[in-house]
Chains A and B, each alone.
Chain A
Amino acid sequence: MPEKTLIEAIREAIDEEMARDPRVFVVGEDVGPRGGVFRATMGLWQKYGEWRVIDSPLAELSIVAIGIGAALNGFRPICEIQFADFIHPAFNQIVNEAARFFYRSGGVYNVPMVIRSPYGGGISGGLYHSQSVEAFFAHVPGLKVVIPSNPYDAKGLLKAAIRDPNPVLFFEPKKGYRLIKGEVPDGDYIVPIGPAKVTREGSDLTVFAYGMMHYYVLQAAEMVAKEGIDVEVVDLRTLAPVDKATILSSIKKTGKALIVYEDNLTLGYGAEVAAILAEEGFEYLDGPVMRLGGPDVPGVPFSPPMQDFFMPNPQKIAEAIRRLARY
């Protein structure tokens, strides 16, 4: 099986879906001849033409609103928000409109669209090119929220998102675009939206993560394995709707949980995982549910030492694992 980077897997998914279904089109800033600032749509404008790879005006709310309209009228838009930090002007169109359309029309008007956006820090992006925004959207019924951690899942999940009859937010860990490589089959396959995945079997404790943090968690698990701590790792993959069954079956096995995410700690996605564990997994718990996240400051600072201070990394995760294992 050929090895590909995360960004290559994403591009391949878009390309194959565009070839498969003429209703699929891409809309966003710089997605055309430029191929996207991260090159996710590289070559697609040249291959499919200007009516299927549409350079939008610099206006995020209408990238989404245009997508909603086109989806209502039968198309399969893939809206690219250049950085997750820029999604906020579109918040109303996503949360009040796309998410609620099916419900508010009594199940008549569905909105089959994908909103792709690179998220996350550690790339010297400062406050406005580093944000993690998944918790805002995972809170909203009617939206699906997906974050792949590896190229195989990225391709399969993005294909599933494009074919889903609902709005799907697809957040991509941009630090991993070229860093994370893995085997990706050529041609069609799907990774279904919904199920989480146990990516490392272990018996002492479970670490729950997604996206870039999942990549780091696997590294941390290897580090502590040498010290005799046997870590199970669950890649959540789909944040909404959440896969409670996999979360609970893992905690039943290990009895201890750490949730790692790079968003601000307070009310980040890990808070919901912790609540599920407290409410439905209480009987299985042998220790406190722990979270490791970014500090509660308004952003990832630009200056390297402050950025490093903000970001969870394999060392910090290993340290949190050791604390939990000692409990």
Chain B
Amino acid sequence: MAVEVKEFLPITQRHEDLGLSDELVLQMYYHLLLSRRLDERCWILQRQGRVPFHISGIAHEGIGVGAAYALRRGFDIVHPYYRDLALSIALGMRPIEFMLALFGKKGDPHSAARQLPSHFSLRHLNIISGSSPVATQVPQAAGIALAEVLKQKLRPFLEAAGFPVSQEMRVVLTTTGEGSTSEGDFHEALNWAGIYRLPLVVLVHNNQYAISVPVWKQMAVPRVADRAAAYGVHGIVCDGSNVLEVYRVVREAVDRARAGEGTTLVEAVTYRWTPHSSDDDDRTYRTREEVERGKRHDPLPRFRDYLYRRSLLTQRLEEELEEQVQAEVDEAQRLAEEMPYPDPEEALASVFATEDRSGWWGQS
């Protein structure tokens, strides 16, 4: 049975109604475009045999960029998953920082070249390392959010001991796929989130497939967001290929969380028209016709169409941005290729910490 795919729909929101300036929406477009071109390059590099593996965020850029702009970047904390190339780019990751991980080169800031690429981890952007077993980050994100609650509750004791607490809570954003919502981790996390009204946003990228398994084999309820009711948290569905709608919905969730009104489970719907990873062959489980229809979920032409209609993008500007982005990707690739591999013995480093560097204290 083919997954039902919606028709191409023009974006109907107006960015100014959402409090976004012209400049910001153009920046969003730039981040969307940069993520896409970087991702496409990774596929090429993998198919050329120059890198071993790529797991893609194509079709997910609307979700990532929309969510990133809804956060207080550099203050809020993000515990992402492997489709979050665009989220990371929009939070400030540079293409070289991704390319170093892709090639497994020295200086990879995510994992010192231990993890597979797309396991994002950048301390200076408050992006926390994730693993490959899915949904494990969701209850951890609940713990990070619980710590935000504890900071507020215990402020005088903490500050007296030299641990300054920010005036407002940091909101924790965690992301995961719709398949991962079947995991026990997901359930336990939302249960905690509901009980303690945690400042947490759980953003589920519903790309309609968990590798080969379609969403209707994953759950009996029609929507991931329906599950929110069982935990006493807010639940909402949005169109993941509409970057402005994602921004609006996640922004509301973030504001609610910061105000102490608890967690929101956001389901952002898209369609993954790439294979699961460079090791997957999606022709074994779905038709090419379905995949072609799925490309109507592409957030890039929808946003481009919107920006043209609003006279923010011209053909000339579009070409300039394309050139700029291509140059950035070229440069990142060149630098990563030139970079040496880690010394073999670096495999032995950092098993145990000798000093504590945990936590987000104070305002920064």
Evaluate contact between A106 and B112: CB separation under 8 angstroms. Answer: yes
Inter-chain CA distance A103–B112, complex, in Å, is: 9
- Give the A-B pair count, Cβ closer than 8 A: 170
CB distance from B297 to the nearest CB of A (A): 32
A70: CB under 8 A from chain B?
yes
Inter-chain CA distance A210–B279, complex, in Å, is: 47
Max chain A Cβ within 10 angstroms of own Cβ: one of B139, B150, B153, B358: B358
Max chain A Cβ within 10 angstroms of own Cβ: one of B139, B185, B359: B139
Evaluate contact between B191 and A59: CB separation under 8 angstroms. Answer: yes
Given the contacts A62-B139, A73-B77, A103-B114, A51 and B154 also touching, CB distance less than 8 Å: yes
CB distance from B300 to the nearest CB of A (A): 31
In B143-201, the 8 Å CB interface with A consists of 143-151, 153-154, 157-158, 160-161, 163, 184-185, 188-189, 191-192, 195
In B343-364, the 8 Å CB interface with A consists of 349-361
Given the contacts A106-B350, A107-B353, A75 and B150 also touching, CB distance less than 8 Å: yes
> Which residue from A75, A92, A104, A166 sits with its C-beta under 8 Å from B352?
A166
A128: CB under 8 A from chain B?
no
Evaluate contact between B142 and A109: CB separation under 8 angstroms. Answer: no
Given the contacts A22-B163, A107-B112, A66 and B350 also touching, CB distance less than 8 Å: no
Evaluate contact between A104 and B185: CB separation under 8 angstroms. Answer: no
* Chain A residues within 8 Å of B121, by CB: 104-106, 108-109
Inter-chain CA distance A59–B109, complex, in Å, is: 34
> Which residue from B123, B133, B143, B192 sits with its C-beta under 8 Å from A57?
B192
In B303-358, the 8 Å CB interface with A consists of 349-358
Inter-chain CA distance A23–B163, complex, in Å, is: 9
Q: For chain B, what secondary structure do more than half of its interface residues adopt (helix, strand, loop), or is it mixed?
A: loop
CB distance from A239 to the nearest CB of B (A): 15
Evaluate contact between A105 and B111: CB separation under 8 angstroms. Answer: yes
In A14-63, the 8 Å CB interface with B consists of 21-23, 25, 51-52, 57, 59, 61-62
Inter-chain CA distance A71–B150, complex, in Å, is: 12
* Chain B residues within 8 Å of A23, by CB: 158, 161, 163
A287: CB under 8 A from chain B?
no
B131: CB under 8 A from chain A?
yes
Evaluate contact between B110 and A69: CB separation under 8 angstroms. Answer: no
Evaluate contact between A93 and B119: CB separation under 8 angstroms. Answer: no
Evaluate contact between B358 and A71: CB separation under 8 angstroms. Answer: yes
Stretch at the interface among A94-102, A180-188, A249-257: A94-102
Inter-chain CA distance A165–B352, complex, in Å, is: 8
Evaluate contact between B195 and A107: CB separation under 8 angstroms. Answer: no
A89: CB under 8 A from chain B?
yes
Q: How large is the interface on A (under 10, 10 to 19, 20 to 34, 35 or more residues)?
A: 35 or more
A205: CB under 8 A from chain B?
no
Evaluate contact between A69 and B131: CB separation under 8 angstroms. Answer: no
> Which residue from A59, A75, A96 sits with its C-beta under 8 Å from B136?
A96
B218: CB under 8 A from chain A?
no
CB distance from B222 to the nearest CB of A (A): 27
B46: CB under 8 A from chain A?
no
Given the contacts A89-B184, A110-B358, A73 and B139 also touching, CB distance less than 8 Å: no
Given the contacts A72-B358, A142-B352, A165-B353, A109 and B123 also touching, CB distance less than 8 Å: yes
A156: CB under 8 A from chain B?
no
Inter-chain CA distance A66–B110, complex, in Å, is: 23
A65: CB under 8 A from chain B?
yes
A288: CB under 8 A from chain B?
no
* Chain A residues within 8 Å of B111, by CB: 104-106
CB distance from B116 to the nearest CB of A (A): 10
A121: CB under 8 A from chain B?
no
Inter-chain CA distance A97–B200, complex, in Å, is: 20
Evaluate contact between B356 and A165: CB separation under 8 angstroms. Answer: yes
Q: Please encode chain A, from 241 to 272, with 1 for each CB lying within 8 Å of some chain B CB and 0 for all others.
A: 10000000000000000000000000000000
Evaluate contact between B353 and A73: CB separation under 8 angstroms. Answer: no
Inter-chain CA distance A77–B151, complex, in Å, is: 13
Inter-chain CA distance A100–B140, complex, in Å, is: 14
Given the contacts A57-B195, A110-B358, A22 and B161 also touching, CB distance less than 8 Å: yes
Evaluate contact between A69 and B354: CB separation under 8 angstroms. Answer: no
Evaluate contact between B150 and A100: CB separation under 8 angstroms. Answer: no
Inter-chain CA distance A109–B356, complex, in Å, is: 9
* Chain B residues within 8 Å of A68, by CB: 140, 143
Evaluate contact between A101 and B129: CB separation under 8 angstroms. Answer: yes
Evaluate contact between B359 and A73: CB separation under 8 angstroms. Answer: yes
Evaluate contact between A62 and B188: CB separation under 8 angstroms. Answer: yes
* Chain A residues within 8 Å of B185, by CB: 61-62, 65, 93
Evaluate contact between B163 and A73: CB separation under 8 angstroms. Answer: no
Inter-chain CA distance A302–B357, complex, in Å, is: 46
Inter-chain CA distance A75–B356, complex, in Å, is: 11
B67: CB under 8 A from chain A?
no
* Chain B residues within 8 Å of A102, by CB: 350-353
Evaluate contact between B188 and A106: CB separation under 8 angstroms. Answer: no
- Given contacts A51-B153, A70-B147, A104-B115, list 13 more A-B pairs with CB under 8 A: A22-B163, A51-B150, A57-B192, A62-B139, A62-B185, A65-B139, A65-B189, A66-B139, A75-B150, A93-B136, A104-B129, A105-B123, A107-B350
Q: What are 14 A-B contacts defined by CB distance under 8 Å?
A: A23-B161, A59-B188, A59-B191, A62-B192, A70-B147, A73-B360, A74-B147, A97-B136, A97-B140, A102-B352, A105-B121, A107-B112, A165-B353, A165-B358
